[in-house]
Amino acid sequence: MTATVIDGRMVARGVREETARRAAALTTAPVLATVLVGDDPASGVYVANKRRSAAAAGIGDVHRHLPGTASEAEVAAVLDELAADDRVTGILLQLPLPGHLDPARLVERIPPEKDVDGLTTRSQGLLARGEPGLRPCTPAGVIALLDAAGIGLAGRRAVVVGRSTLVGRPMAQLLLGRDATVTIAHSRTRDLPALTRSADVLVAAAGVPGIITGAHVAPGATVVDVGIHRTSDGLVGDVDRAGVAPVAGAITPVPGGVGPMTIAMLLANTVAAAQTREAAR
């Protein structure tokens, strides 16, 4: 037996098409503002991808590119201007920022209703309480992927490996919101294989290449790989796919699994923010 491969590119395409339909149904087009500080090549590519995908979904584009020497006050002023701009429905501050800037302090300037990355304290508080709000894109993408693959969550054992603010912690909250029994594991966890073998749904978000092996997986379990690492063998995830595929029931590949979902959920959040605004008028 070999695990079913969950095709993230196909699911992401469906989310993007649905998002484009919802965007077209709005009276005023949604607008995504992207803010890039400095000239990190990877960040430049990510932002370009996001802008291109947004345009393809009928989302308007506002872009601000600041030099890597910009002061925190200068970045803050740009965020404040976008916060005040009624046309802008979503604001994305591309991370990481140059080292002299405080990302947490700057992210807080994004109004919660435009926080399409779901990273402000308020958005994370709403998530922690299980209240409506904009959710971080990568974990929201994992849920959408599981839904599309028909993987049930209510009453199932879910184990999240990794406790980052960006992925692991909000992932655990979203799984709990779907009535899974959720465990969050991390570098201090003892006997990780025994723990992860109790999972019906295992989400690997440790940021360690190949940390999840066949010995970590129960037969038939669903394994979601959030890791992405550039190695001499090409892109690999947190999951040792060759070892896990013969054991798992379903698996997300790297690349082409969770990765494509992140941008798709960013677009979905941008349109959801615009819908909320329109409904409030």
Binding residue numbers for NADP(+) = 162-164, 228
**Footprint of its own copies on 5-64 (CB under 8 A):** none
- Contact (CB, 8 A) for 201 and 176: no
Q: How far is the C-alpha of 139 from the C-alpha of 177, rounded, in Å?
A: 12
Q: Which stretch of DSSP H or E encloses residue 28? A: none
In the complex, the smallest distance separating the C-beta of residue 219 from its own copies, rounded to whole angstroms, is 18
What angle separates helix 259-280 from helix 8-24, to the nearest 10 degrees?
20
Strand partners, 66: 37
In the complex, the smallest distance separating the C-beta of residue 127 from its own copies, rounded to whole angstroms, is 7
Of the listed 39, 85, 86, 117, which one is catalytic?
A: 117
In the complex, the smallest distance separating the C-beta of residue 213 from its own copies, rounded to whole angstroms, is 19
Q: Which residues in 140-168 are b (16+ Cβ under 10 Å) and which e?
A: bbbbbbbebbebebeebebbbbbbeebbb
Is 117 an annotated catalytic residue? yes
Task: Return the number of the residue (200 or 238) whose C-beta is nearest its own copies.
Answer: 200
Is 275 an annotated catalytic residue? no
Is 102 an annotated catalytic residue? no
Classify residue 150 as left (phi > 0), alpha (psi -120 to 50) or beta: left
Binding mask of the shown chain, residues 77 to 116, with x at each position contacting its own copies by CB under 8 A: ---------------------------x------------
Interface residue with its own copies, options 62, 176, 208, 228 (CB under 8 A): 176
Q: How far is the C-alpha of 66 from the C-alpha of 44, rounded, in Å?
A: 12
Q: How far is the C-alpha of 219 from the C-alpha of 182, rounded, in Å?
A: 19
DSSP 162: -
Q: How far is the C-alpha of 8 from the C-alpha of 234, rounded, in Å?
A: 18
In the complex, the smallest distance separating the C-beta of residue 46 from its own copies, rounded to whole angstroms, is 22
Binding mask of the shown chain, residues 125 to 164, with x at each position contacting its own copies by CB under 8 A: xxxxxxx----------------------xxxx-----x-
Interface residue with its own copies, options 87, 165, 193, 219 (CB under 8 A): 165
122 binds its own copies (CB under 8 A): yes
Task: Return the number of the residue (199 or 245) whose C-beta is nearest its own copies.
Answer: 199
The site for its own copies (CB under 8 A) is made up of: 104, 120-131, 154-157, 163, 165, 169-170, 172-173, 176, 179, 181-186, 188-190, 195, 198
* Catalytically active residues, by annotation: 50, 94, 117
